[in-house]
Structure 1
Amino acid sequence: MSSTTVLEMRSIVKRFTGVTALADVTLSVRRGEIHALCGENGAGKSTLMKVLSGVHPYGSYEGQVLFDGEECRFKDIRASERRGIVIIHQELALVPHLSIAENIFLGNEPSRRGVIDWDQALSGAARLLRRVGLDEHPRTRVSDIGVGKQQLVEIAKALAKDVKLLILDEPTAALNDEDSAQLLRLMKELQEQGITSIIISHKLNEISEVADSVTVLRDGRSVETLDVHAPETTEERVIRGMVGRDLGSRFPERTPYEGPRDGEPALEIRDWTVRHPVDHHRRVVDGVSLTVRRGEIVGLAGLMGAGRTELAMSVFGRSYGRYERGTVHKDGAEIRTRTVPEAVARGLAYVTEDRKRYGLDLGDTVARNISLSSLPDLARGGIVDAHRERQVAEEYRRVMNIKTPDVLEPVGRLSGGNQQKIVLSKWVLSGPDVLILDEPTRGVDVGAKFEIYGVIDRLAAEGKAILMISSELPELLGMCDRVYTMAAGRLTGEVARADASQEVLMRHMTRVPSAAGTDPSEGHHP
């Protein structure tokens, strides 16, 4: 091991029942660098980092891990943390009802004569919060701060453990652009302080912004390590390494719908207005009207807090907020969507932005998750026909290219891209005419994205009406026929594909109407 190399993982092999997750993976990280790890969902990135951090203990894998020139045989995560290796998982490990200070020192509390020294904990937490640039009181409950700030608390927690190697697994997946930029700046600051970092990310623009090197994994194997700053290290080169081929285009060529109802409005939302579920004086969706035609993919763009998800969830069975007014029309006739079963029965489907919380039962099988929205159709005499359920799941496994050893595999064991395909399968099986897709490719790699785009295109070609919410403007520009923009709960623009650009959309997204979202007749809510 070179004196400039802080970490070496040699010929790592990790097997689960029936699956080889890592096959002869090698990784070398230089001291003080930011090293990116990328690959498709299921490529083995997170598994490799779990081997490194002791989540998968020594003896459960083959190969060697060397840190600071010494072989490491970590039996658990605490053993790796004692050496200064700290991992921050994509699912944050914070206790929401404890304070920031309590979370930072949880399991690592400063004490005096066997009693927790809270003065030292609070002063230490304040010092660490300043170091990560978080302006919050250490006594603030974690549940009272946003996800972006929670990510900074996790980093402060790592710094409290005297971290030498910081591992961040998809750290910006759930963050808006501003919080993402702050986190990336912090990574560079920590690098200046001598901390080595490994970042797992699907966002190639972030890798090019902060990383020094990038190692590409594919199908559980290390493909190559590239110098990010070298002229030949382009996004296309990294993508080719990830998927094993040139994608040619990031988006499939659109297949037009040529059915008898081409151009007919399938979904019309008129004057839709919803108030906040707690603060009833605040309108989160304010007088929104939009139309989606058969065979059309219509985008909905907006910054965080614009009201896009609130609109989608409230239309779909009034799943969010307090309904005030507005109507939903399908094929020209007004329909009722007061509950989720009512919305489904009227031919609507909603693919949530939070698949793990709202879209899937992670402990249940692939087959059961696919069938969840259509159980009555798969039942005989009130009992689900397990054979038919499995047949249907196998069909969608093939059509959607879901990578799983078996349709009886628990969904929680699959990669994010495959989980997303299962959520889509569930709703396509219900036979909807209108699909509302909320961040359909969030946390999904470029190869799986292309496959999901292909599914969306096929659905539109069949005459489905698709309303697509996305925070990625290139995605909307590449997929949509028209794009509506929202800000502060109101529509601020409608842009045809031919006229759309990121600059045009952003201009509409930042054009906040005066007094939007409030009811002037009701005064101010304290």
Structure 2
Amino acid sequence: MALGGFMTTGSVTFDTTLHSTTGNGLLLEADGVAKAFHGVPALRNGHLKLRPGSVHALCGGNGAGKSTFLNIVMGLLRRDEGSIKIKGEVVDFRSASEALDHGIAIITQELSPVLEMTVAENIYLGREPKRLGAFIDFALLETQAQKLLDDIGFPIRANARMSNLSLAETQLVEIAKALSFDADIVIMDEPTSAIGEHEAHILFAAIDRLKHRGSGIIYVSHKLSEIFEIADEFTVFRDGNYIVSGSMKETTRKELVTHIVGREVKVVEKERPNAGAPILLEVRNLSRESEFKDISISVAAGEVFGIYGLLGSGRTEFLEAVYGMETPTSGEVMLAGRPVPRGKPRESIKMGMAMVSEDRKDSGLVLSSSIAHNITLSALSLMAVSGFVKQQKEREVVEEMIRSQRIKTSSSELAVENLSGGNQQKVVFARCLTTNPRLLICDEPTRGIDEGSKQEIYAFLRDFAAKGHGVLVVSSEAPEILQVSDRIAIFKAGTLVDVIDGHGATQQMIMELAS
């Protein structure tokens, strides 16, 4: 895949000429698209027009109907009403393969790699080069995949097994897979939710070349800074309804957020913690072989301490070692002056730590279980007498957490998988609070959730710290880490570059230190 040329991937070649359109010149035109599940509308009036050579941002909060709409366009769901035209032709895809045949590719928010296969096998699954018409040419397959990854600029080996990759690296493989198709329309549903800003800008460069080739991109992201950087036009869905479309040049961030949320969102302001507050967390010379080395930080009571770094900087691995999910090779962690046992998260919880993991759906929640079960999962022993859980106490805790965290649900017995992303994350926070933590460790706490829910989580973190607790937070979004943090540690290649005052830092400052 030579991005300068434009794109070549062995048997797949992307030419540099504009893709032909018919009729009104639109690549895609959707009007009145509707879908209900068991009589409950998920989408009532999907409407979008995609022009060749443009990026069209599809905006909306969690539960707005965006994913339902995209799944219908891609043939993963059948619409109940409305029409979809591709280059002027009315279509009704019954499968994703039909959509691919019509030049539509998608990067989905929910990753579904085949873990026991290699990166190359995942990228070209079902499209493998053959020898003698029957046998997969694995050498050529790996060569093609490595060239694709190298030309995009993704630091991944084609022969690596998917099960050994991080969440961010898995996301990059999904992006590479979608870009390997010769697509007129590329749907990108939260493509940067698990990757850092450096990798995101590599993706943006590829998007720019797709635009110049004449392709159209439907781009979904809760990161508004990305939308304003790369999008030409926008459409907003809210509560399953089409709200408005327009030019990105003719709107402001405040206006767009108001359209998305349906009201003006108050941005959370931070105040400086009390000077001279006691140290709650102290990390001394913590190291883990090949991941990070000699990291020393401290978090005071009442402080939100941020960690910022690019992909591969050791941020997540450091958090996991502090919490006890991974065992460090050297160094020590002290909580309120007491040593935290290495590699024993249960002991960390007993001492007053709680952790919000990077991937709530994989390690943070039991999706098929109820809200109530997920909230109390970490604290059942605290509600038990002689080994039996006191159900009344459990109900009281669940009701209080749903109220205090503003979890939107009709019942505490509803399965968590039926909640929006923002409400799922609130359940994760509620579960952490049931153990009465003094230190809250958060890895990408707002990944994949909308602006309104983000501000609610920022307010929660500030309020938690204001009660004399501590927060240690990692985020790959520079605006986010700047908004919530009192101090910011900059990580680079597994080392601590600097710790700076979060009240006077700028995005340019922290990005330059991290790169």
CA distance in 2, matches of 1:267, 1:299: 15
User: Deviation of residue 489 (structure 1)?
Assistant: 4.0
User: Deviation of residue 451 (structure 1)?
Assistant: 0.8
8 Å contact from structure 1 (residues 285, 311) kept in 2: no
Question: Which one of the candidate residues 274, 278, 284 is aligned to 2:292?
Answer: 284
8 Å contact from structure 1 (residues 266, 434) kept in 2: no
Task: Map 1:14-25 to 2 at 5 A.
Answer: 14-17=35-38, 19-25=40-46
Work out the number of aligned pairs and report it: 493
Match of 1:245 in 2: 263
CA distance in 2, matches of 1:126, 1:15: 42
- Alpha carbon RMSD of aligned pairs, Å? 3.1
8 Å contact from structure 1 (residues 328, 336) kept in 2: no
8 Å contact from structure 2 (residues 310, 492) kept in 1: yes
Match of 1:513 in 2: none
Residues 502, 154 of structure 1: alpha-carbon distance in 2 compared, 3 angstrom cutoff:
closer
Residues 335, 447 of structure 1: alpha-carbon distance in 2 compared, 3 angstrom cutoff:
same
Task: Map 1:75-86 to 2 at 5 A.
Answer: 75-86=94-105
Scaled by the length of structure 1, what TM-score is found? 0.83
Residues 298, 30 of structure 1: alpha-carbon distance in 2 compared, 3 angstrom cutoff:
same
8 Å contact from structure 1 (residues 435, 466) kept in 2: yes
Match of 1:370 in 2: 375
Residues 324, 65 of structure 1: alpha-carbon distance in 2 compared, 3 angstrom cutoff:
same
CA distance in 2, matches of 1:351, 1:210: 30
Query: Which digits, 9 at most, give the CA deviation of each residue in 1:305-345, with x for residues without a partner?
Result: 333322322121x2114342324131x44454651121111
Amino acid of the structure 2 residue aligned with 1:306: S
Scaled by the length of structure 2, what TM-score is found? 0.85
CA distance in 2, matches of 1:301, 1:201: 20
CA distance in 2, matches of 1:384, 1:377: 9
8 Å contact from structure 2 (residues 328, 342) kept in 1: no
Question: Greater CA deviation, 92-101 or 439-448?
Answer: 92-101
8 Å contact from structure 1 (residues 366, 407) kept in 2: yes
User: Deviation of residue 420 (structure 1)?
Assistant: 1.3
Residues 198, 319 of structure 1: alpha-carbon distance in 2 compared, 3 angstrom cutoff:
same
Match of 2:449 in 1: 444
Residues 499, 406 of structure 1: alpha-carbon distance in 2 compared, 3 angstrom cutoff:
same
Task: Map 1:468-507 to 2 at 5 A.
Answer: 468-506=473-511
Match of 1:32 in 2: 53
Amino acid of the structure 2 residue aligned with 1:315: V
Question: Which one of the candidate residues 20, 24, 32 is aligned to 1:11?
Answer: 32
1:105 aligns with 2:124: yes
User: Deviation of residue 462 (structure 1)?
Assistant: 2.3
Give the secondary structure class of the aligned counterpart of 2:354.
Answer: strand
Give the secondary structure class of the aligned counterpart of 2:378.
Answer: helix
Match of 2:288 in 1: 275
Query: Which digits, 9 at most, give the CA deviation of each residue in 1:454-510, with x for residues without a partner?
Result: 211221232222222223333233223333333444444333344433344445545
User: Deviation of residue 138 (structure 1)?
Assistant: 5.7
Residues 129, 322 of structure 1: alpha-carbon distance in 2 compared, 3 angstrom cutoff:
closer
Identical-pair percentage: 37
CA distance in 1, matches of 2:125, 2:96: 14
Give the secondary structure class of the aligned counterpart of 1:452.
Answer: helix
CA distance in 2, matches of 1:125, 1:338: 37
Query: Which digits, 9 at most, give the CA deviation of each residue in 1:16-61, with x for residues without a partner?
Result: 3474221222222223322111111221211110111121124xx3
Match of 1:173 in 2: 193
CA distance in 1, matches of 2:192, 2:129: 30
For structure 2, the residue ranges without an aligned partner over 5 or more in a row are: 1-21
Question: Which one of the candidate residues 81, 89, 103 is aligned to 1:62?
Answer: 81
1:297 aligns with 2:341: no
Match of 1:72 in 2: 91
For structure 1, the residue ranges without an aligned partner over 5 or more in a row are: 277-281, 511-526
